[in-house]
């Protein structure tokens, strides 16, 4: 199984500041034939299901604010929120779909400082 490890486990950022969440996979999730990274990011607010933010490591889902961006390749990935808003308080998960079993990171809790 591909193990996904996120860092940090929790993060407190001031409103308007940048938030950065990291995700590392135990093996590369880059498919050389397509040159695509098989990685997605989700946001989960309390009492709600996860919401897809980004797929192919850097493609923003329709309707997701452009302050959210994804980057990275191979085994190291980053979710960046460029200017934190109050509504961004949530737990964020990365997920690999390079192979089965599909696996998720343990989650990063983002709070307001």
Partner 1 sequence: QLQLQESGPGLVKPSETLSLTCTVSGGSISSSVYYWGWIRQPPGKGLEWIGSIYYSGTTYYNPSLKSRVTISVDTSKNQFSLKLSPVTAADTSVYYCARHPSYCSSINCYLRWFDPWGQGTLVTVSS
Contact set with partner 1 (CB under 8 A): 1, 38, 40, 42, 48-52, 55, 61, 93, 95, 97, 100-107
Task: Please compute, for residue 33, the number of CA atoms within 13 A of its CA located in the half-sphere on the CB side.
Answer: 1
User: Between residues 7 and 14, which has the closer beta carbon with respect to partner 1?
Assistant: 7
Minimal distance, residue 53 CB to partner 1, in Å: 10
Minimal distance, residue 45 CB to partner 1, in Å: 12
User: Between residues 13 and 94, which has the closer beta carbon with respect to partner 1?
Assistant: 94
The Cα 88–Cα 65 span in angstroms is 11
User: Between residues 1 and 17, which has the closer beta carbon with respect to partner 1?
Assistant: 1
φ, ψ of residue 60 to 5 degrees: the values are -75, 135
Number of C-beta neighbours around residue 89 at 10 A: 16
The Cα 36–Cα 57 span in angstroms is 8
Minimal distance, residue 49 CB to partner 1, in Å: 4
């Amino acid at each position: 199984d591909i193990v996904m490890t996120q860092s940090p486990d929790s993060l407190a950022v001031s409103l308007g500041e940048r938030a950065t969440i990291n995700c590392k996979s135990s093996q590369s999730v880059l498919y050389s034939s397509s040159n695509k990274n098989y990685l997605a990011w989700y946001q989960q607010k309390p009492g709600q299901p996860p919401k897809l933010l980004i797929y192919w490591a850097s493609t923003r889902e329709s309707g997701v604010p452009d302050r959210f961006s994804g980057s990275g390749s191979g085994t190291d990935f980053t979710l960046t929120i460029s200017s934190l808003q109050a509504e961004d308080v949530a737990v964020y998960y990365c997920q690999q779909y390079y192979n089965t079993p599909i696996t998720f990171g343990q989650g990063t809790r983002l709070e307001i400082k």
